[in-house]
Amino acid sequence: MRTLGRLHLITDTRPGRDTLAVVAAALRAGFDVVQVRPEDHVTDREAYDLTVRILAMCRELDRICLVNDRLHIALAAGADGGHVGADDLPVAAARRILGPHAILGATARNPETARQAVADGASYLGVGPAFATTTKAGLPDAIGPAGVGAVAAAVPVPIVAIGGVTAQNARQLYSAGAHAVAVVGAVSGAADPYTAAKEFLA
């Protein structure tokens, strides 16, 4: 299995965002992983087409491409793996579908669910919201760097901190034990996504 990079871009398919241009900018800036996360209203066909295009961009630069929720699209496109949360397939079922070698991320917010997800086959954990965010509605309160650190201390797999991550606060999450951060708005919502992505490399 390939080493998971430390900067993950999650796609933003909300109206007004130029999804592919943002992905290109983030990859050029040095982001290691792109997670394709189509909004729920995006059809499977559209999500598949988007994944194929983003996967080609990732392959060109030898970067990792994951697909959120829709594991059939990850498999059909030949992506490196997928990510599941509480409303998606259970982790063990996702592992059966993706096979033993794919990268499989699972959402966990506390040590107990984290340990279970790893036992069920998760190869990394997405942990958050680390900080307040408006990108996804209905989330519980932010757990902060301490909450991220508590999960990191409980499991042997890489922790990807998510939620309200900026170039300014990312350091706190790495210091708390996160292996990586996952970012939507701080890059996608920036006037200049390339410069915004570069700030994470600094």
Ligand X SMILES: Cc1ncsc1CCOP(=O)(O)O
Ligand Y SMILES: Cc1ncc(COP(=O)(O)OP(=O)(O)O)c(N)n1
Q: Which of the residues 1 through 40 are near ligand Y (CB under 6 A)?
A: 35, 37
User: Which does residue 163 touch among Mg ion, ligand Y, ligand X, none (CB within 5 to 8 A, set by kind)?
Assistant: ligand X
Rule CB under 6 A: is residue 105 a binding residue for ligand X? no
Q: 69 vs 80, which CB is nearer to Mg ion?
A: 69
Q: 162 vs 180, which CB is nearer to ligand X?
A: 162
User: Which does residue 105 touch among ligand Y, ligand X, Mg ion, none (CB within 5 to 8 A, set by kind)?
Assistant: ligand Y
Member of 22, 74, 151, 160 binding ligand Y (CB under 6 A): 160
Q: Is 68 annotated as a binding residue?
A: yes
Structure-token pair, residue 57: 């961009």
Binding mask 65-94 for ligand Y (x = CB under 6 A): ---xx-------------x-xx-x------
What is the C-alpha separation between 183 and 50, in angstroms, rounded? Answer: 18
Q: Which amino acid is at 139?
A: L
What is the C-alpha separation between 129 and 189, in angstroms, rounded? Answer: 18
Q: Minimum CB separation from ligand X for residue 165, in Å?
A: 5
* First-to-final CA distance of the chain: 27
Member of 38, 81, 121, 128 binding ligand X (CB under 6 A): 128
Sites of contact with Mg ion (CB under 5 A): 69, 85, 88
- Angstrom CA distances, 5 to 18, 178, 180, 182, stand at 24, 12, 7, 10
Interacting residue ranges for ligand X, rule: CB under 6 A:
128-129, 133, 135-136, 139, 162-165, 183-186
Interacting residue ranges for ligand Y, rule: CB under 6 A:
35, 37, 68-69, 83, 85-86, 88, 105, 107, 126, 136, 160, 162, 182
- Annotated binding-site members: 35-39, 68-69, 88, 107, 133-136, 164
